[in-house]
Amino acid sequence: MTAPRSARRRGCRRGCSRSACHDDEGSRRVSEPGEIQAVPFAVFCGLDVGKSEHYACALDTAGKRVHDKALPNDETALRTVFTALAEHGRVLVVVDQPASIGALALAVARELGVAVAYLPGLAMRRIADLHPGQAKTDARDAHVIAEAARTMPHTLRRVGTDDETLAELSVLAGYDDDLAGQSTRLTNRLRDAMLHVHPALERLLGPRLDRGGVLDLLTVAPTPQALRDLGPDGIAQAMRARSELDP
């Protein structure tokens, strides 16, 4: 006997019975390539990421906070928190920025076997508007992210291979920029010191402080008298090893 249409409509869109429905709140799962339809997750950890420190808010399936505090952007600290949360069951970590400052948290979570996702900025702003009267803080943003993961999984996005690669490249580019800036500052300090001690030597060697041979020479003979004591042969010997490698 065929069930009435009205009865069939009460089942889920996949044709499941109500007793074993894929759409039931307790059996949500990761599905579409671009979305997280959430969960057999027990804990939803929202991370409002920062350069040196994140804020982590973790909720259980009932919305109770199981973790709510600042979290250093440090591998050991991240491992400790994610491992502790995993004691409650399967964890979903959601960030508001998957690249750059959020990359380490995602990498640590993945290594521990923790599922990850991110909440796009536009979606986060719209969801935050549902919580009027609350001042914007890192703690509030982390709670918004966690609550979105728990109650609105369709707003989340997967962190795919392309996102991970882009995040890694962004981190490497950031390191490169930091090193370049540090090198420039140290070079300027060294030139300033040389200018006070021996202006003529600064004019000669200052523009060449990016050369390994010049730095080796100044390491061996950091004063005008030490340079005179080395003499031409000693100077050539001090500079030879790395100067031959410089273009």
Kindly report the average pLDDT of the chain as a whole number.
Answer: 78
C-alpha span between 134 and 138 (Å, rounded): 12
Per cent of the chain over pLDDT 90 is 27
Beta-bridge partner residues of 194:
none
Give pLDDT tens digits for 27-37: 333 334 344 55
pLDDT over 80 (residue 149) = yes
pLDDT over 70 (residue 165) = no
Position with higher pLDDT, 160 vs 225: 225
Position with higher pLDDT, 3 vs 160: 160
Per cent of the chain over pLDDT 70 is 73
The 3-state secondary structure of 45-93, one letter per residue: EEEECCCCEEEEEEEECCCCEEEEEEEECCHHHHHHHHHHHHCCCCEEE
Check if the beta carbon of residue 158 is closer than 8 Å to that of residue 36: yes
- Spell out the domains of the chain, with CATH numbers in brackets: 25-159 (3.30.420.10), 165-243 (no CATH)
Model confidence at 171, in pLDDT bands (50, 70, 90)? low
pLDDT over 70 (residue 169) = no
- Give phi and psi for 113, each to the nearest 5: 80, 20
For residue 195, what pLDDT is reported?
86
Check if the beta carbon of residue 82 is closer than 8 Å to that of residue 93: yes
Model confidence at 78, in pLDDT bands (50, 70, 90)? very high
Position with higher pLDDT, 178 vs 142: 142
For residue 134, what pLDDT is reported?
63
Give pLDDT tens digits for 95-125: 988 877 888 899 899 889 999 998 887 777 7
Check if the beta carbon of residue 174 is closer than 8 Å to that of residue 83: no
Beta-bridge partner residues of 91:
43
CA angle 58, 62, 66 (to 5 degrees): 30
Model confidence at 222, in pLDDT bands (50, 70, 90)? confident
- What does pTM read for this prediction? 0.52
Beta-bridge partner residues of 11:
none
For residue 68, what pLDDT is reported?
96
pLDDT over 50 (residue 38) = no
